[in-house]
Structure 1
Amino acid sequence: MEHYDVMIVGGGPAGSTLAWALRNSGKRILILDKADFPRDKTCAGWVTPAVAESLQLDLDDYRRDHVLQPITRFRIGMMGQPAVDNDHGDNPVSYGIRRCEFDTYLLDRVESANKVLKTPVKDIRRDGGNWIINDTYQAPLLVGAGGHFCPVARQLGDGPGSHETVVAAKEVEFEMTPEQAENCAASGDQPELWFCRDLKGYAWVFRKGSFLNIGLGREDNHKLTDHLEAFVQEMKDQGRIPADLPGRFKGHAYLLYAHAERPLVDDGILLIGDAAGLAYTQSGEGIRPAIESALLAAETIRRASDMSAQSLQRYGDAIADRFGRRAMPEQEGWQLPGWVKTSVASGLMRSHWFTRKVVTEKWFLHQDVPPLKVAV
């Protein structure tokens, strides 16, 4: 049996950031993931300057070998009506990345942890004060960082198949041929966000260098494919995307912070990132919440006198302080607050002020929230 102080299930941005933040703690850390890295992780994929600062990323170093698409403009619209183009100035307000590269970069820089990849978690059990995985690894603290379907979430009585409202998304990312790139009107420095007319989701077109990402996310999964097909056809008809798209769109799911009910801690157990259901309610973005939850978890682990739920509750309190108290709204709908879901929504989506100051800068970029800085 291999003994550790902390076992992290999931080597994505949340899990790798937690291990990186604990690098000087003296703790023995294990990262397990069922995938090998680089892994195929389709994601619209952008990181704000706040995320780069929290991660202490050297952007010049990163861009040498990886896609780092500066974003200075956004195109916002409601399907079926003209879009609004907003220019945010010369300095990038965000950066487009490819998750297969970004996740590997973050994991590779963790040199103080043992990494066991291509290893599914088949069994988790509690024995005294330790958690045991696959009858091989044990530790007093188990951290779930494996996304929406993380097996650690099930240990807290929640997880796949729960009653929580789940957002489902389908997307594709591919490298365009020169002919496709020539026939693609989407611009790399300007992601396109298109809201569904019922405001229960939105679609996007995002060009990152020679790569193109197209997708759509909604609450009601049974209508997802119909909405996606209609959106893709509309974009093709407008010449925004190439007519010949490759392969099938890949699906994934996540929980929005205000709608999730997953507990975050218990004795010897803690959830971060999408495993905890932390995606921003207005946008569905999960990278910044994943990074920040990992940093807050690391601070809690460093200070904890033991791994009891009482000691770990500091993390739950820190999440509430950072992201607000969770509340389940009575009405369905995930992207926009109730006051927007009226006949004025169509007009608001044609407003330069609203689409820039509210939709883009507040809901998607969270420019009003300063970067999270904790001791690491």
Structure 2
Amino acid sequence: MEYYDLIIVGAGPAGSTLARSLQDSGKRILIIDKQDFPRDKTCAGWVTPAVMESLNIDTSDYGSGRTLQPIRKFRIGMMGQPAVENDHGDIVSYGIRRCEFDAYLLDRVTAPKQLKTPVKSIVRRDGNWVVNDTWEAPLIVGAGGHFCPVAKLLGDGPGSHETVVAAKEVEFEMTPQQAEVCQARGDTPELWFCRDLKGYAWVFRKDNFLNIGLGREDNHKLSEHLNNFVDEMKSEGRIPADLPGRFKGHAYLLYAHAERPLVDDGLLLIGDSAGLAYTQSGEGIRPAIESALMAADIIRDREDYSAQSLQAYGEAIASRFGNRAVPRENGWQVPDWVKMPLASTLMRSHWFTRKVVTEKWFLHQQVPLLESVANG
């Protein structure tokens, strides 16, 4: 049996950020992931300057040999009507490829890593957690996404009726012929809202890589909406007519509708395993990073890992992101006041699409850096 102070299950941005943040704490840390890295990760793939600053990433260094697409504009519309294009002037986001981004973050972690290792068992024994009958620690952190095995230890949450968003996407490198006919531009991601406001699609070009996808509340209609969107984009010349491969799927919880507990005795959830994706956009990278930084602050000088002691983390999450379990009838993407036919008009407004949809819902420019990051 190998003993650690902390076992992190999941080596994505949340898990790697937590491990790196605790490198100087003196704690013995093990990070486990079922996949090897670099690995494919279903995600549209953009990060804001706030994320890069929180992670202390030098964009010049990162952009050397990796995809880093500066974003200055957004093209936003409702399906079936013309789009609105807004120029923000400065760089407001960066396009990245998750296979590169996640591997870069994990490479900065000096703690032992156990990759290509599915978690087959987690057992509570004498006040510690034992993983796969091999590794033991008094504290285990779930950072493995929506289906994280650590999150399953906490059940499905109160009521067990969490709103799960399902998404499908494809990302591929275009041939010279495809790149020539593709009208989507690298500095201008395209966001297309479903007419029923229960989801949105995107077309996102990063150099010669193209990412196309769609996410919705109701999974049973996902493929139908996706196929209709792809056909429309092809007919308008926004994307190449010949898309390779099949669309890959993933799922996540929206913060306001998630009911999943965040802590228990010797157990804590961060990132998508905690259901922290922003409610209006579904974006999860910044909440994942910030939850890991907040968890590190709680764990660093603590030896008491009881649920009562770890509740300080839950309080920090609520203080940062607000209260959870908002009534679901308000819908997924938009507040109650944005309803048809008003939504159709608003989505043709430069002011609304820029100030509300882009800057508030997707970029969260009104949210300052996490205080511990700003001070540290």
Q: TM-score, normalised by structure 1?
A: 0.97
Equivalent AA in structure 2 for residue 336 of structure 1: V
Equivalent AA in structure 2 for residue 56 of structure 1: N
Equivalent AA in structure 1 for residue 234 of structure 2: K
How far does the alpha carbon of each residue in 1:195-242 deviate from its partner, in whole angstroms, 9 at most, with x for none?
A: 000000000000000100000000000000000000000000000000
Q: After superposition, where does 1:1-376 map in structure 2 within 5 Å?
A: 1-89=1-89, 91-111=90-110, 113-158=111-156, 162-331=160-329, 333-374=331-372
**Residues 32 and 115 of structure 1 are in contact (CA less than 8 Å); yes or no, is this contact kept in structure 2?**
yes
Equivalent AA in structure 2 for residue 61 of structure 1: D
How far does the alpha carbon of each residue in 1:269-322 deviate from its partner, in whole angstroms, 9 at most, with x for none?
A: 000000000000000000000000000000000143411111111110000010
Equivalent AA in structure 2 for residue 60 of structure 1: S
Q: In the superposition, relative to structure 1, how do residues 64 and 196 fare at CA in structure 2: closer, same or farther (>3 Å)?
A: same
Q: Secondary structure of the equivalent of 1:374?
A: helix
Equivalent AA in structure 2 for residue 191 of structure 1: P
CA shift for structure 1 position 350: 0.2
Looking at structure 1, the residues matched to 60 and 23 of structure 2 have their Cα atoms a distance apart, in angstroms, of 23
CA shift for structure 1 position 332: 5.0
CA shift for structure 1 position 329: 1.4
Looking at structure 2, the residues matched to 36 and 355 of structure 1 have their Cα atoms a distance apart, in angstroms, of 39
Looking at structure 2, the residues matched to 330 and 372 of structure 1 have their Cα atoms a distance apart, in angstroms, of 28
Count of paired positions: 373
**Residues 46 and 97 of structure 1 are in contact (CA less than 8 Å); yes or no, is this contact kept in structure 2?**
yes
Equivalent AA in structure 2 for residue 100 of structure 1: C
Q: TM-score, normalised by structure 2?
A: 0.97
Q: Secondary structure of the equivalent of 1:102?
A: helix
Pairwise CA RMSD of aligned residues? Answer: 1.2
Looking at structure 1, the residues matched to 340 and 65 of structure 2 have their Cα atoms a distance apart, in angstroms, of 46
Equivalent AA in structure 2 for residue 57 of structure 1: I
**Residues 304 and 312 of structure 1 are in contact (CA less than 8 Å); yes or no, is this contact kept in structure 2?**
no
Identity fraction in percent: 78
Looking at structure 2, the residues matched to 345 and 303 of structure 1 have their Cα atoms a distance apart, in angstroms, of 49
CA shift for structure 1 position 40: 1.1
Q: Secondary structure of the equivalent of 2:130?
A: strand
Q: Secondary structure of the equivalent of 2:273?
A: helix
CA shift for structure 1 position 162: 4.5
Equivalent AA in structure 2 for residue 249 of structure 1: F
Which structure 2 segments of 5+ residues have no match?
none
Moved over 6 A (4+): none
Looking at structure 1, the residues matched to 168 and 78 of structure 2 have their Cα atoms a distance apart, in angstroms, of 19
Looking at structure 1, the residues matched to 348 and 53 of structure 2 have their Cα atoms a distance apart, in angstroms, of 33
Which structure 1 segments of 5+ residues have no match?
none
How far does the alpha carbon of each residue in 1:38-81 deviate from its partner, in whole angstroms, 9 at most, with x for none?
A: 00113111110101111011111000011000000000000000
